[in-house]
Amino acid sequence: METVQIKIKKERPIFIIHPADVYVQGGLHPPLGLAYINSSLKNNGYKPNVVDVVFDRELKQLKELELDNGIYLISFSTVLSDRVHKIIDIIRSKDKNAVILGGGPHPTVRKEKTFDEFGLDLIAMGEVNIVDIMDAYHTSDTYGELSKVKGVMYKQDGKLVINEPAEYLDNLDNIPLPSLEDFPIYEYFKIKGYRELSLITSRGCPYRCTFCQPILNNLFGKKIRFQSPKRVVDEIEYFVNKLKLDVISFNDDTFAFHQQRVIDICKEIIDRKIHFLWRCQTRVGLRREVLEYMKKAGCFLIEFGVESGSQTILDNIHKDTTVEKIIETFKYCRELNILTHSFLSIGWLGESEKTINETVEMLKIIKPFSYSVGIATPYPGTYLWDEIQEKGLLINADWSKYDHILDDASKIVRLSEFSPEQLIEKKRYLESVLRKVRQPKRDMLKLLHDKDFLMNVAHIIKNNPGLPLRMMKLTSRFLARKGKGFTVINPDSGA
């Protein structure tokens, strides 16, 4: 007679932990990766508890929770390492049977090293099947079940087991909507001053910028995958209506990679008469026609990974673009009244007085509406990281400094002729140039007179009567901060 193996299900409390800290965070959104995990678990009969400590510096929520026999899921980037240590210490001190799982960029790229660094029980690399993992922890023979789950590594009887890599999902339309509602979204709205969520409509990026790749390839595979325009707009419609959003921020690595798809998404938004404002991050090189559609569909701001105005630097970092394309794209945006944000960075291999001056010359032409100036940072898992390891250039592996927006990043590595102090000086210099050349008030005024924008806002107000007040508050905040921009809201550093 055939023997049937019966899974013995024991309910273990599951905690999804978002370890970010508003005081060291640039950009502020409920975490999408964890929201996707949350929805997959809920759709499969689990009842995860979300613990978002982003506004809880002292980690009071965790300290006050009764923790026993729990399974804890944490997602983190390198810069959050210190905080994750603290969180894990609290969990371990309160719950002797805790099972702590790590995923997201840092564990994915550091792999087995993360076991020693953080004392995790399991590491998920990239797009894993969370339900399979959780099922394994709810059966009598956990390790037997875990051995079948792709994309994880774990310790069994003190020995490291590395399973084969996860297969990437073929069809992104089949993923359930991210369960963002379980995160304190109203707190996020409150601190930002407007009702914004971020969504992601594609996974991966085929480019090979040295400071970014191959992290994305490791997380999401080499092939870029897209949600269909219909699914994208279904998701937009759901969140706009349910949460009465003012703004959506599309956080795809490069939202407009497939330009025809962007046109199709815009047409769908326009046809369905969904009114909201949106922004996205993408590369330069968009056709004017695409930008026209984007504008009509409510896009008011595009964040471009410009990095430098020196072709030498663009080539060194494998940006695969040209200064001419940057200038052209910014020109189109200005003509169409789309605001622009320019991500800039300095301190690359080959950076010199000459390349900084070339960047200054470009800034005088592109005049971005808002900007951030980062410092070349070798995030682990990038080509840049490998290169500096080989060349023995690393000065500091203190993960808390790994945020390219902050001045401390100057102390991680010396790639150029500039010392850390000189780099900070150059950063300030570029910022002062930007303050002189930009025309944010003019850009805003033009936008406030733009027919498409005004029509869109008028429709949004019908749904969201609180919007005018929020816009007034935002405008005064914007003016008080001399128009530095909307995107970054760190109340501590003001970064």
Chain contacts with ligand SF4 (rule: CB under 6 A): 205, 207, 209, 212-213, 253-254, 283, 305
Selected binder of ligand B12 within 50, 51, 71, 73 (CB under 6 A)? 73
The entry of ligand B12, ligand SF4, none near residue 299 (CB within 5 to 8 angstroms by kind) is none
Residue 419 is classified by DSSP as: -
Position 279 contacts ligand B12 (CB under 6 A) = no
Most distant CA pair in the chain: distance in Å? Answer: 83
Site for ligand B12 (CB under 6 A): which residue of 38, 39, 77, 201?
Answer: 77
Sequence-ordered list of residues with C-beta below 8 angstroms from that of 359, at least 6 positions apart, any chain = 308, 309, 310, 313, 344, 346, 430
Per CB under 6 A, the list member of 126, 193, 229, 485 interacting with ligand B12 is: 126
Q: Which of ligand B12, ligand SF4, none binds 254 (CB below 5-8 Å, type-dependent)?
A: ligand SF4
Identify which of 415, 420, 423 has the alpha carbon closest to the alpha carbon of residue 393: 415
Label residues 145-171 b or e (16+ Cβ within 10 Å = b).
bbeebebbbbeeeeeeeebeebebeee
Size of the site for ligand B12 (CB under 6 A): 44
Residue 37: C-alpha distances to residues 75, 149, 163, 307, 487 (Å): 10, 15, 20, 32, 26
Q: Which does 128 bind (CB under 5 to 8 A by kind): ligand B12, ligand SF4, none?
A: ligand B12
Positions in 237-266 near ligand B12 (CB under 6 A): 251, 253
CA distance 15 to 10: 16
Residues 6+ apart with CB under 8 A from 25: 54, 490
- In the stretch 181-220, what mask flags binding to ligand B12 with x, by CB under 6 A? -----------------x-x-----------x--xx--x-
Range 459-478, binding ligand B12 (CB under 6 A): none
| Token pair of 414 as six digits | 């010396």
| 243 close to 191: Cβ distance less than 8 angstroms | no
Report 362-381 residues binding ligand B12 (CB under 6 A): 379-381
Both tokens assigned to 317: 């970092």
Q: Does 303 bind ligand B12 (CB under 6 A)?
A: no
Choose which of 52, 95, 127, 443 interacts with ligand B12 (CB under 6 A): 127
Cβ distance 460 to 243 under 8 Å? Answer: no
**Residue 270 binding ligand B12, by CB under 6 A:** no
Interface with ligand B12 includes 29 (CB under 6 A)? yes
- When asked if residue 403 is in the footprint of ligand B12 (CB under 6 A), the reply is yes
Quote the least distance from Cβ 173 to ligand SF4, whole Å.
22
283 binds, among ligand SF4, ligand B12, none (CB under 5 to 8 A by kind): ligand SF4
Q: How far is the CB of 193 from ligand B12 (least distance, A)?
A: 16
Sign of the C-alpha dihedral computed for residues 271, 275, 281 and 283 taken in this order:
positive
List the single partner that 207 binds among ligand SF4, ligand B12, none, CB under 5 to 8 Å by kind.
ligand SF4
Task: Give CA 450 to chain center in angstroms.
Answer: 30
SS3 of residue 36 by DSSP: helix
* H or E stretch at 171: none
Q: Which of 41, 50, 87, 104 binds ligand B12 (CB under 6 A)?
A: 104
165 interacts with, out of ligand B12, ligand SF4, none, CB within 5 to 8 A per kind:
none
- For ligand B12, the closer CB: 46 or 453: 46
With contact defined as beta carbons under 8 Å apart, do 78 and 104 qualify?
no
Choose among ligand SF4, ligand B12, none what residue 266 binds, the Cβ cut-off being 5 to 8 Å by kind.
Answer: none
Considering the complex, what minimum distance in angstroms separates the CB of residue 3 from ligand B12? 31
Closest listed residue to residue 434, CA positions, set 350, 343, 353:
343
Q: Sign of the CA dihedral 302, 307, 308, 311?
A: negative
Which residues 6+ apart lie within 8 Å of 64 measured at CB?
none
For position 358 contacting ligand B12 by CB under 6 A, the verdict is no
Residue 209 contact among ligand SF4, ligand B12, none, beta carbon within 5 to 8 Å by kind: ligand SF4
Amino acid identity for residue 236 in this structure: I
**309 contributes a contact to ligand B12 by CB under 6 A:** no
User: What type of residue is 148?
Assistant: K
User: What is the rounded CA–CA span in Å between residue 433 and residue 309?
Assistant: 13
Which residue carries 């900007």 as its tokens? 371
Residue 290 or 375: the one with the smaller Cβ distance to ligand B12 is 375
Would you tell me which residues interact with ligand B12 (CB under 6 A)? 20, 25-27, 29-33, 36-37, 73-75, 77-80, 101-106, 109, 124, 126-128, 130, 133, 198, 200, 212, 215-216, 219, 251, 253, 379-381, 403, 405
